[in-house]
């Protein structure tokens, strides 16, 4: 596949940027994207759907002071880009001369994938689905339904701006998830497992898919014996990797500079303050190996990096995009992200996680007389202005006399993000990332990762049904 810089040569992009600022604009950007996606769903023993798509286009942004003009187009000819540049430039009314823009860099990026998924036959992908389905069903006769989903995506971006930036990235992600339903005397229970990384089809050389299917089936079978979840405030131990979404949603969004500037964050004006237990260090890192939120550059062309947000309990920094960091007179943190060329970028997380402590996970459980052990959290709701949240517990167990005992039916975990940070009592030494996810914000979704070691929160409200 030819690089994007061969579809839109340097001269054409320079001309487009010059036209975008010719009406008095202070800064302009051209963001070009070529996105290919494919997915397949396997349900009730057969392929239900195989879907593929491709989107190619450009978004053009012009700023004047704090005002932004934006237009996008799927027409990448000289005329189509010129029309979009003029539409974006309409935000500026000053007029002026066309200024030449010199671009630095070659605008070429190598793929991160060893095996590009588009080179693999549909037959091989269907075989993978069938293999996963068979492994899950063979685990136990009580497994009555299995859904397997495969997805792949390749996203190539080319970003240039009037400051001379000319950068590119070539991102491939591959994912497989399996959802099992078990039927018992007390009804239906579900178990889910997902494996997904910023890699190509080599994912299935590096991971045991049949073992993953058996784990999903085992989760559903175990939950058939589940008791109603208790109600009230209890100590909560969260399994490694299983609760990273809590910190992403309840704390991470409040550390995004756009929400901070709007006054929609509980962490506004708190830099340098103790906002968490001294054992807590919270990081966002877009360079983290092959994790789901890993990207070489963000969607404004800035290199990603490891950003320490909370260190030893102290709030040290926020996450920034290019324009807000420039206005604040500080470097960008590589957190400007957008769903597609049709969207404006905003401050977004990449891979967000709590770092290791020094406690042994078994000791954390043994030291918890009575409480709840959360192995997996599901979706939830968060108010970033207050930090209040509600998350579903998709897999949880009682802790009785320092031991994990009975599985619990699904209930809710209710609390407040800043209070959780303050109430973390002990952190394990067994860090792991959780399942890949998509983060939604202002109608846009981007791939993210999250994780944490096993840890204990002194008290959280459990929304269960047990009396």
Summarize pLDDT for 9-52 with one digit per residue, the tens.
Answer: 899 999 999 999 998 999 999 999 999 999 999 998 899 999 99
Task: Quickly tell me which residue has 């995004």 as its tokens.
Answer: 256
107-130 confidence digits (pLDDT tens): 899 999 999 999 999 999 999 999
Q: How far is CA 109 from the centre of its chain?
A: 22
Q: Give the pLDDT score at 1.
A: 67
Q: How are strands ordered across the β-sheet holding 187-197? A: 67-73, 46-64, 27-43, 143-161, 166-184, 187-197
Pick the closest to residue 291 from 353, 338, 235, 247 (CA basis): 353
Q: Give the pLDDT score at 466.
A: 66
Distances (CA, A) of 417 to 16, 255, 272, 274: 45, 12, 18, 14
CA angle 40, 45, 48 (to 5 degrees): 35
What are the φ and ψ backbone dihedral angles of 231, each rounded to 5 degrees? -120, 145
C-beta separation of 209 from 128 below 8 A: yes
Number of helices and strands in the chain (H, E): 11, 22
Q: Give the pLDDT score at 158.
A: 97
Within 10 Å of residue 300's Cβ, how many Cβ atoms? 23
Task: Quickly tell me which residue has 């023993």 as its tokens.
Answer: 45
Q: Which residues of 457-467 are buried (b: 16+ CB within 10 A; e: fewer)?
A: bbbbbbbbeee
Consecutive H or E run containing 228 = none
Q: Give the pLDDT score at 4.
A: 79
Within 10 Å of residue 49's Cβ, how many Cβ atoms? 10
Task: Quickly tell me which residue has 């397997």 as its tokens.
Answer: 148
According to DSSP, residue 428 is labeled B
Distances (CA, A) of 409 to 153, 237, 380, 392, 427: 35, 17, 17, 11, 26
Residues of the chain where predicted confidence (pLDDT) is lower than 70: 1-2, 94-99, 466-467
User: Does the structural domain 4-223 have CATH classification 3.30.2290.10?
Assistant: yes
Within 10 Å of residue 61's Cβ, how many Cβ atoms? 23
Q: Give the pLDDT score at 464.
A: 73
Quote the tokens at residue 302. Answer: 């800035």
| Cα dihedral across residues 109, 32, 447, 203: positive or negative | negative
For the chain, the structural domain boundaries read 4-223, 232-463
């Amino acid at each position: 596949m030819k690089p994007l810089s061969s579809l839109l040569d340097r001269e054409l992009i320079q001309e487009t940027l010059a036209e975008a600022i010719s009406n008095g604009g202070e800064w302009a950007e051209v963001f070009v994207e070529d996105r290919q996606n494919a997915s397949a769903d396997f349900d009730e023993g057969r392929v239900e759907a195989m879907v593929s798509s491709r989107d190619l286009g450009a978004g053009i942004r012009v700023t004047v002071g704090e005002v932004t003009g934006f237009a996008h187009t799927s027409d990448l000819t000289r005329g189509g880009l010129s029309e979009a540049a003029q539409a974006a430039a309409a935000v500026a009314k000053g007029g002026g001369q066309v200024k030449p823009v010199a671009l630095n860099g070659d605008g070429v990026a190598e793929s991160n994938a060893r095996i590009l998924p588009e080179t693999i036959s549909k037959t091989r992908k269907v075989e993978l689905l069938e293999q996963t389905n068979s492994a899950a069903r063979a685990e136990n006769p009580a497994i009555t339904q299995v859904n397997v989903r495969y997805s792949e995506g390749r996203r190539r971006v080319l970003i240039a701006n009037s400051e001379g930036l000319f950068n590119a990235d070539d991102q491939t992600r591959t994912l497989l998830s399996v959802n099992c339903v078990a039927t018992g005397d007390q009804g239906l229970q579900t178990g889910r497992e997902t494996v997904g990384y910023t890699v190509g089809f080599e994912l299935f050389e590096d991971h045991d898919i049949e073992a993953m299917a058996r784990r999903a089936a085992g989760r559903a079978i175990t939950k058939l014996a589940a008791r109603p979840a208790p109600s009230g405030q209890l100590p909560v131990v969260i399994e490694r990797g299983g609760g990273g979404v809590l910190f992403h949603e309840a704390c991470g969004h409040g550390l995004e500079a756009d929400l901070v500037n709007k006054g929609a964050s509980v962490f506004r004006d708190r830099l340098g303050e103790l906002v968490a237990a001294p054992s807590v260090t919270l990081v966002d890192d877009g360079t983290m190996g092959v994790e789901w939120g890993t990207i070489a550059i963000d969607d404004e062309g800035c290199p990603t990096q490891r950003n320490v947000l909370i260190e030893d309990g102290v709030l040290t920094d926020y996450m920034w995009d290019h324009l807000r960091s420039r206005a604040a007179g500080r470097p960008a943190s590589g957190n400007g992200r957008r769903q597609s060329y049709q969207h404006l970028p905003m401050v977004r997380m990449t891979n967000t996680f709590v770092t290791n402590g020094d406690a042994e996970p078994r000791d954390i459980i043994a030291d918890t007389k009575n409480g709840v052990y959360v192995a997996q959290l599901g979706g939830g709701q968060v108010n970033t202005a207050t930090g209040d949240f509600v998350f579903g517990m998709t897999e949880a167990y009682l802790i009785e006399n320092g031991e994990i005992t009975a599985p619990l039916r699904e209930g809710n975990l209710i609390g407040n993000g800043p209070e959780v940070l303050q109430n973390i009592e002990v952190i394990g030494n067994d860090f792991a990332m959780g399942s890949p996810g998509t983060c939604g914000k202002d109608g846009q979704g981007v791939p993210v990762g999250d994780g944490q070691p096993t840890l204990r929160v002194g008290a959280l409200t459990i929304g269960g049904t047990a009396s």
